Structure 1
Amino acid sequence: MIPDDAEARRAIAPVICYPTESLPKPALGLYRSALEGAGVVASVIAPPREACTFEVRAGQFFRITCVEAPQVGDLNLWNAHDLAERFFSGKTRALHGTHVTTGDRLWSTLPSLRPMATIVEDALAWYGIDPHGGSVHDVIGTRCDPYTHRLLSGGNYHHCCHSNLTRALAEARAIPLAEAEAHVHDVLNVFMCTGFTRETGQYFMKASPVRPGDHLTFFAEIDLLGALSACPGGDCGAEHSSDAARCGPLRVEVLAPEEGALGDWRMPPPSGYDRSHGR
C-alpha cells in the first residue's frame, strides 16, 4: 500500500555522503610539468584476453593506451612491497563518483587509505555522461569472473579478467594460483562505458568510445605493482566472458620524469588514524 506522504518522502533532497572539499588536492600542475619531460623506461603489452603486470616507482607515471581496436581493460593495483595494501574501488567510488577522470585519485584499502595513483591525462574526458547515463572508466563493475559466468551461463571459461589477473599476479610474484587469487580485487574498468538503468537500476555496459591511440595516464603516488587484463569483451558493446567479441591488445608504458622535476614532492603517508577503535 502506497502511503499518503509517498511523494513527500521521495522529494527529500539528497545529501552528498563524503564532501570532498577538505581532501588534499593533487598537484596536477607539477605532475603535468614533470610528465612533459618524462621518458619511457618500460613497456609491456596485455594481449587480447590476457593480462600483463608492471611495476612503477613512486614519482613515475604509467600510461595505458588502446593499440589496435576499441578495447577495455581491468586494472588492479597493489603496494609493490605489501600486497595487502591494494586499490579500494568502493572508497574511490564514494569519494569521486562512479567514474573517474583527470584529477581523481585511486585510493588504497584500509587501514592505509591513501592515494595510490592520480589521473593526469584522460583522452576520453570529453565523453562526460551520455543520454543513457553512461560514462567511462568506472569503479562500479567488479570484473568479469568465471564464477559468475558459470552461475549465469554454465561451463568453465578461463579468460575472464579475474582469471587473467590471477594468472598474471601468480607469475609476477612466483606464488600459487590460490594465493594470487586472494589478492585480486575489484578493478578500475579502463575505457569501459557503463552506468545504471533508470528503470531497474541494473548495471549496463555499452560499446566503449575508445579508439586506437587514446590513453589514460597516471602519476604513481607510491611504489606500485599493477596488473591489466585486456577484457574478453573487447569494447564490451555486446557481451563479455566469451571468445565471440573482437579483442585487441592494450599497452602499458612506464615513464620516468627528469631528475628534480618533482621538486620536494613526497609520497603520501598511510592514514594517521591511531587504530584504537574506541578501546
Structure 2
Amino acid sequence: MSNPRPRPAYTSPPINRDLYDRIAATAGDASSRTLVTEFLIPPRSGKAWHVPAGAILRLSTPEGPQVGDFNLWNMHNPRERLWASRTRQLEKSHVSVGNRLWSSLPFMRPMVTIIADSLADYGVDAVGGRCHDLLGTRCDPYVNKLITNDDFDLHCHSNLTRAVLPYGLTEFDVHDVLNVFQVTGLDEEGKYFMRASPATGDTYIEFFAEQPLLCALSTCPGGDLSNWGWGDDGAMEDVCRPIKVEVFEIPRHARNEVLRDWEESKCPDYKGLHGMKSPQSE
C-alpha cells in the first residue's frame, strides 16, 4: 500500500478567478489597456521603476531567452517587500497564473497576482525542473568570492543595488528574488540546480499590481544559463540578452467593469501584541 501524499502545510486564500480573467483579457485591447511605461533593460544590467496599484506589469524576452531577477517593494514603504519564503509556502516553489507574491511581516499581503504566463505549460521537465523560481536567490559577489576567491562585479545583487540607489534604497534593501524565465529544481540529494531558460522571442509573464510598487529587475549576467559559470565573463557574455518592461493602466472608462470587485490588498487584521500584556512603552 502506497503512502498517501502529505497535505500542504500552508494554503493560500482563494482568488477571484473571474476578476483576474477579466484583467488578463485586456491584452491587445487598446480601449481597456493603455501603455504608460516601456523600456528595455540591457544585458547584464538592472533598472527600477514604479507600478501603480491596479496596473499591469509585463516582462518579456523580445530577443530570446534571458533570466531576470525580480525584486518588489511597496512604493511608499520599502520595509514592505517581497517575502520569497512565505510565498513558497503559501503558493509554490515555482509560480505561474493564479499565484501571488506576498509581502514581508508585519504586512503579509499580496503584492502582485500573476495573470498571464506564456510558459505556463512548461510543467515539470525530465529532471524535475520547473519555471519561474522562488527556490534560489540572486547571484552576488560575496558568494562568488567564497567559491572562487575572485572579485567579480557582474552579479544580480550588484545590478539591483545600483538600480535602487536613485530611489533612496541601498544594498541592504535588496532581497530574495523571483527568478523569471528561469528553470530550476532540486536533485535527488536536495541540491539546487539550474537549466537553460526555455524563453523565446515571444515569451512573457504578466503581473497585476495589488498595491503601489517599486520594482527592480536584473538581467542576469549568466544570460539564459545555457553556459553559466563562476566569474568566467567570456563564457557567458554571448548568451546575455535584454528584458523588456511594459506597464499598462486600465483607463478610467473601463475600470468599473474590468476592476469590478477589486480593491487594494489589505494587511491581516491582527490586533495582538505577540503575547505581551501591555505595550513596551508602559
Question: TM-score if structure 2 supplies the norm length?
Answer: 0.88
Structure 1 unaligned runs (5+)?
A: 1-7
In 2, distance between residues paired with 1:275 and 1:253?
A: 41
Moved more, 23-32 or 254-263: 23-32
Question: Secondary structure of the equivalent of 1:18?
Answer: coil
In 1, distance between residues paired with 2:245 and 2:230?
A: 22
Matched, 1:29 2:14: no
Structure 2 unaligned runs (5+)?
A: 277-282
| Map of 2:246 onto structure 1 | 253
The within-5 A match list for 1:82-101 is 82-101=77-96
CA RMSD of aligned residues (A): 1.9
In 2, distance between residues paired with 1:34 and 1:81?
A: 27
The within-5 A match list for 1:68-217 is 68-171=63-166, 173=167, 175=168, 180-198=170-188, 200-217=189-206
| Map of 1:5 onto structure 2 | none
In 2, distance between residues paired with 1:221 and 1:61?
A: 10
In 2, distance between residues paired with 1:147 and 1:276?
A: 37
Change in Cα spacing, 1:75 to 1:241, as seen in structure 2 (3 Å) is: farther
Question: What amino acid is the match of 1:116?
Answer: M
Question: Secondary structure of the equivalent of 2:245?
Answer: strand
In 2, distance between residues paired with 1:192 and 1:141?
A: 10
Tell me, yes or no, if the aligned pair for 2:21 and 2:115 is still in contact at 8 Å: no
In 1, distance between residues paired with 2:122 and 2:211?
A: 29
Tell me, yes or no, if the aligned pair for 1:71 and 1:208 is still in contact at 8 Å: yes
In 1, distance between residues paired with 2:243 and 2:62?
A: 6
In 2, distance between residues paired with 1:276 and 1:92?
A: 24
The alpha-carbon deviation at position 97 of structure 1 amounts to 1.3
The alpha-carbon deviation at position 19 of structure 1 amounts to 3.0
Q: How much identity, in percent, do the aligned residues show?
A: 42
Matched, 1:38 2:33: yes
The alpha-carbon deviation at position 152 of structure 1 amounts to 0.4
The within-5 A match list for 1:234-273 is 234-240=223-229, 242=231, 243=233, 244-245=235-236, 246-259=239-252, 260=255, 261-273=258-270
Question: What amino acid is the match of 1:51?
Answer: G
Question: What amino acid is the match of 1:205?
Answer: M
